[in-house]
Structures are given as structure tokens and as C-alpha cells.
Amino acid sequence: MTHKQWPLWEIFIRGQHGLNHRHVGSLHAPDAEMAINNARDVYTRRKEGVSIWVVPSSEITASSPSEKGPLFDPAESKVYRHPTFFDIPEEVGKM
Amino acid sequence: MYAQMIKSEGTKREDMSPQELAFQARIDRGEKIEPKEWMPEGYRKTLIRQIGQHAHSEIVGQLPEGNWITRAPTLERKAILLAKVQDEAGHGLYLYSAAETLGVSRDELFEKLHSGAMKYSSIFNYPTLTWADMGAVGWLVDGAAIMNQVPLQRTSYGPYSRAMIRICKEESFHQRQGYSIMMTMAKGTPAQKDMAQDALNRFWYPALMMFGPSDKDSVHSEQSMAWKIKMNTNDELRQKFVNETVPQAEYLGLSVPDETLAWNEEKQGYDFAEPDWSEFFEVIKGNGPCNRERLEARVTAWDEGAWFREGLSAHAEKAAAARMAAE
Ligand SMILES: [Fe+2]
Ligand SMILES: [Fe+2]
């Protein structure tokens, strides 16, 4: 059989107005329009969304698991980026 | 279960390489394994087999219920059944997508299903003879599936776990719509109540078989449990299912077709009769009442849908070419 498999698409759904689109899964479709149609049928049957993005999976560049250390470890030692690092006396009031 | 008797190939702990030991330690700590991360070949293969079989069960599982969509007794029941069967197509898709992250294509999995190299759950090889069977299937078959799928939400493989979470959200509707059919029929005319009882009689043991053979005959359980791709033993889940289902049958005024069934105070659970395992193995081998019909329906749908898949591809290519020309 000469059948060519449809490309894979990653599906992002905005759950409610004001929220970010979130990755919900993937599906196969011949083109973007069909990917949106299928995403509607598969991922929003219970009013889970108000907007859909579809992106060809092949267009996504991901960080590799082996880079986890160099990418994310440096943030570990920079706890002063969080407000809780600083003790503010109670007398000062809400800050 | 939806995945039964999955062959699992792992290395014994004492023979593990440092990399394998580190992998097992991650699982023991409750970390999720994600697609691009290193994993033992056995883990990957076992998962493909299990998720693939689970996916096949979802889509083949549409057939016995699809059988009744055009003959549902009311428009409302028809719409509900249609929605339920549509959910199952979605479940199949979530699971095929999860399997694809392990480096197998969906078409490869389809081919293996169609050639008989991969199986689907034994339960879908039984016929649905009356409308009451739609009640029994939702109540018992989806009910048994829930027993297995709820703990699998905590499985070690990230994409599988996320697919399970999504599926579990939808599954409860399936069981309830089935039980609601049973309630209506059990409260109906004597003839309707008989139909409900008959459906329970026919589906009880096949539903118990869904959990797979007894633990003592379940050779691959240990490795799969260490990998957290199987969360409970077959017998544990079967017992839990019986404990929950018997009172539901009593409420309906129907009797479970097992004369030995009795509450055991000591174990806080029911004693019950094992299904006929020789029947189970026959069904698995392809000799159940509907094996041939189910597979034929799948293959026909795939083959006769080829022109449609190709047509959509051709349209997509043409539209892309037109866009290029316009730029
Ligand atoms: Fe399902
Ligand atoms: Fe279901």
C-alpha cells in the first residue's frame, strides 16, 4: 500500500477567555484546517475550549533532556529572586 | 483488562547496568519518564505493546455498541450512546498518540491489529444481542475498565499517564449511562427485567475475565509492576470490581449468576467463582463468538476508507501548492 501517513500536529487549547493556550495532546491530519476540525472533535467535546492552535509537531524544537543541568540548575542558587528571601519586619506592614 | 497478558521483558535487578539501576531508581522515587529520555529497550517495547493493545481495545470496543446506535429506543438514548461511542474513538486517539511518542507509528499499530499480531481486549469478542446489553456493557465493561484505568493515572510514563487522566474524566459518564439503562429496564415490564437479567448473565464472567488470568498464572506482572506500568495485580482489581458491583446488582433487583457468591466477613470482600479460563484462552486465540466479525469490520473500515484519506491528502497538497504560487 502506498498510503502516506498524515503529519502529526500538536494541539493547544485556550480553556477560558483570559487564560493561555495549553498543550492538550496531538493528532494526525492532512492539513492545518483538518487538524483544527479534528481537534475540535477530540479535545473540546465538553466545552473545554474557546480557541484552538495547531502546530506541526515537526516545527517544534525541544530542549534535550541531557541539557537539563546546564539549562535549569543555575536558577537553583538564585533564591533571592523570590520575595520570600527577604525578611521584612512586621511593623513595616504589608509589602 | 483493556490490556491483557502483556509480555514484559526486563532485566533482573542483579543483572542491571548502572544506567538501568538509575532508571529504576527514578521510577521508585515516583518521577515520570518522558519521551526523549533514556529508557531500557524492554520498558519501551512493553509499553508499546500495552498502550497499543489498550488503544486497539478502545476502537474495537466501539463496534459492539455501534451495533445499537440506529436501534436505540429513544432519540435521547441514541444521542447518549452516540456520544459515548465517540468518546471511545477519542480514547483510542489519546492512546495511539501516547504510543507514538515511543517511536512506533499509528499505521504500524493498525497493521499489527489487522494482521492479528496485536490483540485487543477479549471482552469485545462477545455479541451485543439486545438493548439491555448496552446497559450491561456500560455498567460492567466500562466499570471494569475504570477499575484499571484509575490507578494507571499514576503510571511512570508521562504521556500514558496524561492519556489516562483524560480518559478517566470521560469514563464515569459511560458507566453511569449504562447503569441508567439497567435501572430503567429493571423497573420496566417483566419482559424488560428479564432482558436486563439475561444481559447480566451473559456479561458477568466475560467482565471478570477482563482483568486477565489469576495472579499465579500471570508471568509478566512483576516486572511491569516494578516499572509502574501495571499498578495492581489482576486478582486485586477483580476482587475490588466484584465488591463494588454486587451491591449495584442488588439495587437493581438482579442476581449475579454465581451460586457460590457470598460475603466473607474476614476478608471484607465477596467470595466468588472464577470465570472459565479455558474460554478466556480460546477467545484470546481468536476463537470467541465475534473475533472474526470484529477484525473484519476494522479491516474493511480501513481499506474502504483509503480513498477518503488519500483524497484529503491530495486536497492538502493542492492547497499548499496554490498557497506557494500565490506568495
Ligand atoms: Fe474508553
Ligand atoms: Fe468507556
Task: Indicate the pLDDT class of residue A3, thresholds 50, 70 and 90.
Answer: low
The phi, psi pair for B291, rounded to 5°, reads -50, -50
How many H helices and E strands in chain B?
14, 2
Please tell me if residue A1 touches chain B, with a CB cutoff of 8 Å.
yes
pTM: 0.92
**Positive or negative: CA dihedral B37, A54, B62, B299:** negative
Residue type, B79: A
**Positive or negative: CA dihedral B85, B86, B92, B95:** negative
pLDDT single digits (tens) A18-65: 899 999 999 999 999 999 999 999 999 999 999 999 999 999 999 987
What pLDDT shows up at residue B194? 98
Find all residues with CB under 8 Å of B51, minimum gap 6, and list them: B3, B95, B98, B99, B102, B160, B163
Cell numbers that stand for A36 in this block: 483544527
**Contact status, residue B19 vs residue B38, Cβ threshold 8 Å:** yes
Give B8 Cα–ligand 1 centroid separation in angstroms.
23
- Nearest residue in A to B310, CA atom: A3
What pLDDT shows up at residue B1? 58
**Contact status, residue A30 vs residue B315, Cβ threshold 8 Å:** yes
Q: Which residues are bridge partners to A9 per DSSP?
A: A27, A56
Runs of H (alpha helix) within A1-95: 32-43, 68-72
**Contact status, residue B278 vs residue B305, Cβ threshold 8 Å:** no
What pLDDT shows up at residue A67? 86
**Positive or negative: CA dihedral B220, B224, B226, B232:** negative
Q: Which residue of B19, B59, B82, B106 is the best one to mutate when testing the A interface, meaning the one whose CB has the most A CBs within 10 A?
A: B106
Residue type, B8: S
Q: Which residues are bridge partners to B161 per DSSP?
A: none
Give this complex's ipTM.
Answer: 0.86
pLDDT single digits (tens) A78-95: 999 999 999 999 999 999
Task: For residues B133 and B199, give the distance between their C-alpha atoms in angstroms, rounded to a whole number.
Answer: 5
Task: Look at domain A8-90 and name its CATH class.
Answer: alpha beta
What pLDDT shows up at residue A1? 43
- Rounded to the nearest 10°, the torsion over CA B176, B178, B184, B188 is -160
What pLDDT shows up at residue B87? 97
**Quick check: A2 pLDDT over 60?**
no
Q: Which domains does chain B have, with CATH numbers?
A: 16-325 (1.20.1260.10)
Q: Which residue of A2, A9, A27, A67 is the best one to mutate when testing the B interface, meaning the one whose CB has the most B CBs within 10 A?
A: A27
* A67-87: b (≥16 Cβ within 10 Å) or e: eeeeeeeeeeeeeeeeeeeee
**Contact status, residue B252 vs residue B238, Cβ threshold 8 Å:** no
Which residues of chain B fall short of a pLDDT of 50? none
What pLDDT shows up at residue B14? 78
Nearest ligand to the CA of B121 is 1
Task: For residues B301 and B299, give the distance between their C-alpha atoms in angstroms, rounded to a whole number.
Answer: 5
